[in-house]
Amino acid sequence: MKNIFSTLVLEQDPSYVEKLEKKYDIELPPVFKAFVQTFKFGEFEPTSQHDVIHKDEKIGYDGFNTSLERSIEVYNSQGEFYTKPKLLPIIISGFYHQGICLDLKKKPDQILLMKDHNDLVLVANNILEFISQLQEVHWNDF
């Protein structure tokens, strides 16, 4: 299994994050903020004929290719669906429409699977722990 951290793309403009926080009036938790200031959110470069997936098939992980700005736009555009519980949708789940979310307030930095609006499952304590759970697999291994 390849080190998933080696597939991340470095962020060339860390100030991009503060600009988004100001533009959308949102405050990202510390570990996640440091992560997106270091790496381009949603951009992995797996080796040829490989995908990056979560090892737990029950999560239904479908990829990590949404930009940080797009995640924030979805957060703001869904009324109170995400803003009331303060959960930033970061990844499409595949099985669960709401997906994998970042807790912004209650337990900041936790990564949660939103099975239903009131059914949250802890996936990782922070984005770094979540990334360490990912695996690069060959297309033929699905």
Distances (CA, A) of 86 to 2, 70, 89, 108: 33, 16, 10, 9
Q: Which fold has domain 4-137?
A: SMI1/KNR4-like (3.40.1580)
What tens digit of pLDDT does each residue of 87-103 get? 999 887 666 667 889 99
DSSP helix/strand/coil, 127: helix
d(CA 98, CA 68): 16
Q: Looking at 13-126, list the stretches that DSSP marks H as alpha helix, in order from N- to C-terminal side.
A: 15-24, 30-38, 68-77, 80-83
What pLDDT is recorded for position 33? 97
Indicate if the pLDDT at residue 131 is higher than 80: yes
What integer is the mean pLDDT of 117-123?
85
What integer is the mean pLDDT of 67-81?
90
User: Structure pTM?
Assistant: 0.85
pLDDT over 90, % of the chain: 42
Distances (CA, A) of 32 to 2, 96, 108, 128: 23, 22, 9, 8
Count CA within 13 A, CB hemisphere, residue 54. Answer: 24
Where along the chain do its domains lie? 4-137
Indicate if the pLDDT at residue 45 is higher than 80: no
Indicate if the pLDDT at residue 76 is higher than 80: yes
